[in-house]
C-alpha cells in the first residue's frame, strides 16, 4: 500500500487521500453509516484528469477499484471486500449554467440530482429525472445505473436524457464526447455502453443532459379502482384525454395504501381504504386552470362510465404535495417491518395484476414473512415489492427471492427495472438475459477491463 500511496500523492493532495483511521467516518451505503468503510484507501479526485491518472496507477498495479456516488443503491453495488481503492466523486460536483438554446446542462458526475434540477429551474427549464433519493443521489450514479423514477412514461429513463458523456476506462484512457446534439448516427453510440453498466466498464466523470421546457401547470388525483383491467383501461383513457401531458401513473395495492395512510405514518388518505387499487396520476401542462378543469371532466366521465369507483383531485399545491408524499414515503412501510427486503421488477403490463396477486399469495404463506407491500410505476410495468420479515436469515431471503423472481423468465420480464444488478441480483441475471447476451456482456467486460479491476465481482462473474 505504501507504494500505491506514494504514487497517488504524486497527483493528489494529502487531504484527497484517506487511509487507516481517517476512514472511520466513511461507509459504503447511507443505510450502513454505523459500519466503518473497509478498503485500502478512499480517493477524492477533483477532475477527470485526476481520475484518469488514478486509473493508470491502478491498472499498472492490478488494483481493484470501486466508484462511490451518493451511496443510495439497493443492490450491493458499493459493498467492499477490503482490498479495493475507492474513488469518491463527491468533489467533482460542478454544474454549468444551463444552455437555453440547446436545452442542455453539462454537469460533473458528483453533482446531486436535486441540484441539477434546481439549476435547470433557474433557467425556466426542467430536468425530468426524478425519484425519492434525489437529495443525495449523484448524476454519475444515475447514469451508471440508468435510473428510472416517477416520470419515465413521459420522459424516459436516464438513457433518454443523456446526450454526451465523458468516461475514464480501466487503463486511464479518457473517452470524451460531450456533444449537445440530439441526432448523431455516426457509427456506434459509444456512450450507451456505459449507461447502465454500473461502473464495470468505465467511470463516468461528466455528462451533457437533455432538458425540456418547464411545464406551467401540474395536476394530480388519487383514484380508487377494484379491477386491475380497469387500472390499465383508465391509464389509456387518461393518456388520451390529457393529450400527451400524462407524466406519472403510479399504482398502490390496498394493503400498501392503508399502511401508507394510517398510524404510524404521518399521511392520511384522501379516499376510503376499501378499494383494491389506488392510482396516483400526474399531468404536466401549460395552463393550470384549464388543465384542472380538463382533469375534473375526465374523472367525472370515468366515474359515469364505471372505469373508476372514486376520485380525489388535488385542489391546491399543498394537497398535491401531500398526495405525492403518500406515494414517496416508503419509510412508512419500513417502519412496520422488523426486517425488510426490497424488489424492483419489470413485467408486461397485461400480466401485472395476476402475477402480483400470485406472488403476494405465495409470499404470505412463507414462515417468517410478516408483510407484503406492492406498489410501483404501472405506466412502465415497474413494480416494487417491500417484504416485511421476522429475521434477516439467508434462508428466508433466498426463499423470498425465488418466489418473486419465479415468473420473470416465462413472462419476458426483468429482475431489475431501475436499481441494477450489483452484487445481490447477480445470480438471477440469467432470468432476464439469455446465455448469449451474458456471454457478450462478458466479452465487452474483458475487452474494456481485461484485468477486471472496475467494480470487481459486481454484475458479472468472470
pLDDT digits (tens, 9 = 90+) for 142-195: 999 999 988 999 999 999 999 999 999 999 999 999 999 999 999 999 999 999
The Cα 427–Cα 433 span in angstroms is 11
Domain boundary among the residues 310, 331, 352 is at: 331
**Whether 112 and 195 share a structural domain:** yes
Kindly report the CATH number assigned to the domain that includes residue 230: 3.30.70.2190
Does one domain contain both 398 and 341?
Answer: yes
Whole-angstrom Cα distance, residue 201 to residue 199? 6
pLDDT tens string 45-83: 999 999 999 999 999 999 999 999 988 888 888 989 889
Closest CA to 288 of 179, 376, 215: 215
pLDDT > 90: percent of the chain:
90
∠ CA 355-361-367, rounded to 5° = 135
Predicted confidence (pLDDT) at residue 34 exceeds the cutoff of 80: no
pLDDT at 110: 97
Q: Which of 280, 309, 331 is the last residue of a domain?
A: 331
Res 125 pLDDT > 70: yes
Place 132 in a pLDDT band, splitting at 50, 70 and 90.
Answer: confident
Do 325 and 342 fall into the same domain? Answer: no
Distance (Å, whole) CA 129 – CA 117: 8
Q: Is residue 94 part of a domain?
A: no
Q: Is the pLDDT of residue 2 over 90?
A: no
Cβ proximity of 356 and 253 under 8 Å: yes
Residue 261: all three cell numbers together: 395512510
Is the residue at 286 inside a domain? yes
Q: Which residue has the higher pLDDT, 31 or 304?
A: 304
* Helix, strand, coil % in the chain, rounded to nearest 5: 35, 25, 40
Question: What pLDDT is recorded for position 73?
Answer: 84
Pair (222, 306) in one structural domain: yes
Q: What is the mean pLDDT of residues 31-45?
A: 87
- SS3 for 43? strand
Over residues 348-363, the pLDDT tens digits come to 999 999 999 999 999 9
pLDDT score at 107: 98
Give the CATH number for residue 56. 3.30.43.10
List the grid coordinates of 172.
Answer: 486511464
Instruction: Return the half-sphere exposure (C-beta side, CA atoms, 13 A cut-off) of residue 336.
Output: 21
Confidence at residue 1, expressed as pLDDT on a 0 to 100 scale: 64
Give a yes or no: residue 457 inside a domain: no
Over residues 303-323, the mean pLDDT reads: 96
Predicted confidence at residue 74, as pLDDT, reads: 82
- Tell me which residue range forms the domain holding 113: 104-213
Alpha-helix runs per DSSP H in 365-456: 394-405, 408-411, 435-448
Position 381 pLDDT exceeds 80: yes
The number of folded domains in the chain is 4
- Could you report the per-residue pLDDT of 204-215, keeping only the tens digit for each? 999 999 999 999
CA 338 → CA 253, 371, 388, 392, 400, distances in Å? 21, 10, 7, 9, 16
Domain holding 200: CATH number?
3.30.465.10
Say yes or no: 325 and 347 in one domain.
no
Together in a domain, 376 and 431? yes
| HSE-CB of 341 using CA atoms within 13 angstroms | 26
Residues 403 and 437 placed together within one structural domain of the fold: yes
Amino acid at each position: 500500500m505504501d507504494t500505491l500511496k506514494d504514487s497517488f500523492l504524486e497527483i493528489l493532495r494529502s487531504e484527497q487521500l484517506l487511509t487507516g483511521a481517517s476512514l472511520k467516518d466513511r461507509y459504503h451505503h447511507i443505510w450502513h453509516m454505523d459500519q466503518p468503510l473497509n478498503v485500502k484507501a478512499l480517493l477524492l479526485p477533483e477532475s477527470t484528469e485526476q481520475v484518469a491518472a488514478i486509473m493508470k496507477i491502478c491498472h499498472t498495479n492490478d488494483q481493484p477499484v470501486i466508484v462511490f456516488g451518493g451511496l443510495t443503491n439497493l443492490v450491493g453495488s458499493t459493498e467492499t471486500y477490503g482490498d479495493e481503492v475507492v474513488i469518491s466523486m463527491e468533489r467533482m460536483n460542478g454544474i454549468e449554467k444551463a444552455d437555453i438554446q440547446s436545452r442542455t446542462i453539462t454537469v460533473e458526475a458528483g453533482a446531486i440530482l436535486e441540484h441539477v434540477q434546481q439549476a435547470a429551474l433557474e433557467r425556466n427549464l426542467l430536468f425530468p429525472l426524478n425519484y425519492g433519493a434525489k437529495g443525495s443521489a449523484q448524476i454519475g450514479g444515475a447514469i451508471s445505473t440508468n435510473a428510472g423514477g416517477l416520470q419515465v412514461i413521459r420522459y424516459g429513463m436516464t438513457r433518454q436524457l443523456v446526450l454526451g458523456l465523458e468516461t475514464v476506462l480501466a487503463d486511464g484512457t479518457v473517452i470524451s464526447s460531450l456533444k449537445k446534439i440530439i441526432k448523431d448516427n455516426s457509427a456506434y453510440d459509444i456512450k450507451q455502453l456505459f449507461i447502465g453498466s454500473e461502473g464495470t466498464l468505465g467511470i463516468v466523470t461528466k455528462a451533457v443532459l437533455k432538458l425540456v421546457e418547464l411545464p406551467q401547470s401540474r395536476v394530480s388525483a388519487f383514484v380508487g379502482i377494484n379491477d386491475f383491467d380497469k387500472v390499465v383501461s383508465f391509464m389509456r383513457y387518461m393518456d388520451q384525454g390529457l393529450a400527451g401531458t400524462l407524466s406519472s401513473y403510479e399504482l398502490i395495492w390496498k394493503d400498501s395504501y392503508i399502511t401508507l395512510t394510517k398510524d404510524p405514518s404521518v399521511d392520511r388518505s384522501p379516499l376510503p381504504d376499501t378499494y383494491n387499487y389506488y392510482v396516483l396520476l400526474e399531468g404536466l401542462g401549460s395552463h393550470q386552470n384549464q388543465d384542472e378543469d380538463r382533469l375534473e371532466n375526465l374523472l367525472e366521465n370515468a366515474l359515469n362510465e364505471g372505469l373508476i369507483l372514486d376520485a380525489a383531485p388535488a385542489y391546491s399545491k399543498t394537497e398535491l404535495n401531500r398526495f405525492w408524499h403518500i406515494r414517496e414515503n416508503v419509510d412508512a412501510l419500513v417502519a412496520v417491518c422488523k426486517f425488510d427486503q426490497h424488489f424492483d421488477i419489470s413485467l408486461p403490463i397485461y400480466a401485472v395484476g395476476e402475477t402480483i396477486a400470485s406472488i403476494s399469495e405465495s409470499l404470505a404463506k412463507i414462515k417468517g414473512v410478516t408483510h407484503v407491500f406492492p406498489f410501483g410505476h404501472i405506466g412502465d410495468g415497474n413494480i416494487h415489492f417491500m417484504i416485511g420479515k421476522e429475521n434477516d436469515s439467508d434462508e428466508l431471503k433466498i426463499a423470498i427471492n425465488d418466489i418473486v423472481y419465479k415468473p420473470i423468465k416465462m413472462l419476458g420480464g426483468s429482475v431489475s427495472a431501475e436499481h441494477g444488478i450489483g452484487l445481490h441480483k447477480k445470480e438471477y441475471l440469467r432470468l432476464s438475459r439469455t446465455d448469449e447476451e451474458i456471454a457478450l456482456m462478458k466479452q465487452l467486460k474483458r475487452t474494456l477491463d481485461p484485468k477486471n479491476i472496475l467494480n470487481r465481482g459486481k454484475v458479472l462473474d468472470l
